Structure 1
């Protein structure tokens, strides 16, 4: 029989005060969470000594029945161990990193006259592996450059000295095409071949200087010997190398052996970009997506992402540039550049992260629309300081151009998209003349009195198109219905995209690039379009009605009945007397028929 697990309080008291990693388990022995700490006892105690704002943290804490820990020498070791344990166990409440694909490597084979080739398998046989590279296209471009510059063998023969001396092999088509110098028949020395391999090592590491100088020396030597065709071939290699270098070099050549990390994030995900710089050239760029589970900060996400990326791409750089300060241990210098070329390279990293995030959104809308909607709703809730996600939003707009035909429109969005069947139009009934504030109060009151009477779902957010005056009118309507505080309501000013809240003196300004503001602008524009269309329809009908009312003996009611049936004055003019009579009777039909016959 297993020993009973002591109470949580007892487990916490026995924790050490040094750095380490802690693990939380539920009653079934399933791991819930892995975390790191500078002081294990202090960090773990904080979970149980306070009320948490985060619902997910509260849920997790209620499930914990066992705490295990691993003591390490430093906080850096704790960060590395935490990362490895998260990847191994994938606990329910930890940041989730989904990236299970295998990456391509460039291999220099451990053999006499080494081959250089692309592979996805790393075999511990003494061969050199460079990478991994974030995309197949990147490594193929590099491999194409190498094969264009150097004549390397591609055959899989065992080119042992005794086998070559015994004349076991014959040169193949690659030799006759000029792609190989025939080491299999001893036509190229091992020393000469290995010089090429050493040059390739430097190019792969981003050092183009030595190779360029060697080719330039060869070109000048051949030109002096009047071998111009061969000199031109070397010149072509120099151009290829310089062209490749130009595409890679975007920073100061003095910036060498540096890793760059940046992060962009939203309510649900963080996106960490990694740029690896060698000899002033970016030799690698890669972005990963991290799913938040417990309201993790950008610092936490970036630190974990940096550790993961450095492990994955075998980086040993001791200098790191980042967009925000993080601690990766005393052995690694973390710099947050403020200006100059270092600042520019961090900004480039941030642009890469933002571009990756944008591409993910586009893919998400197609592949996983539910995830896209959930992320968008969570972001809007945060940006607009709401108590719940605005899955159902309604926006109101008044239209009373030149004071005629005052009308209003209500548009409805569900999960960030227009629900056009639920749009509603309002003729203003109780307000005399152009009064936007009174009109807004009337339509908001009428709309939600109707929803309450019919027991329909109320929105989580109401938006009124206008500033503080229209907002106050909307709030009054909600107060009359006892809905104040039960539905969030905000006003949006037309020019500066100011968002006004009831009782708040100062407006909220959202970043103009945020999805939240784009949704609000779309709502406002749709309400305006819908309202203007309705207003024009009303003016047209009234204008037509006025023409009919000018006929002696025909009033407003008769004109409206005819327009409802025939839809236009033109059709009324062309209608038969019998058809008119079916709608308005024989006497009035005779009047209208005779009027248009005379005209």
Structure 2
């Protein structure tokens, strides 16, 4: 399909990373949100394939701009796509516009807590873990929780009074060993709480015990020639490891938060902003900021926070940053995450800032080819701690054949580009044996 020069340039710069892409029309309205394992290949396919249906052809004809967010994994991209579709409700997205969302596992706030799957997050003090990128993964984790720590699956009101009055009888789950019978007083509340605490620990991402158990069970089944059973363990292991790469896109415990990070090159700084509401990313944006002489990253970030909050009308009471800042804003507190999901959100923000920076550098190099060489020289100067740009570089290397026929070669770079007319090769006649230092003199 035909594509404008602007779209052609965007396609050339797209990263080969998992993420989410957004299509915009000439009114800057979001037409479509999609996820991709490889952003470059997926987005390019819209403009190169010839067998699209009528709806897709109409969509492509309306695309005037493309934006994207890089995600750590395809599962993360899937969840981010879900949250963005629900936030913006694009015209051409039909599958996820309803209120259906990805599944969670809830640890219910009650005496002898139940653990079960849900798609609804109710603020009743219960704990929610997820979301899971697929129902299969969620059920695998839930099944493993119940296998490791037998807990009740019934919905009985297990008050102390009801248990003492003997209102209940044990069910089949008790007889087959899947429950210890708290309904008839056969399991103390404290013992049950220990199992729930262990499950909470597991659901927070510490799956090493589960992985070890599955690997051991798989190996034992294979050694006993129970290959079908071993294959089942293998499939469960794969699902758990998929969950173990825990998503950073959505976390129900992170609500009404802004994330800001900054990266810089010799010319500009690039500030990324993420807005998280009700546990999902609802906004992502990166701005290019001209650097002032001697301006530190802390100062750049402080100024950008004020500008972006005003631009997007954001008023979150909590801001995550990669380092401490001193910006007094009324009703706002700051946090520098050190671990867990909060840190992974900061890392994701910084990753997107770096991709934006590389994108801008590529754009500049297309219009000003000398900019690439200049950037390399500035990087070399900084890395080598030189006082000035290394505009003339000579590189020597020596070689010999088991101590005989020593030779040297010299390559030259001027202003960051190979000066091939100045390349030289030397046959060393004054050195015996493999002596690089003597060859250099």
Name the TM-score, length of structure 1 as normaliser.
Answer: 0.34
Higher relative helix content: 1
Q: Look at both structures and tell me which one has the larger radius of gyration over its CA atoms.
A: 1
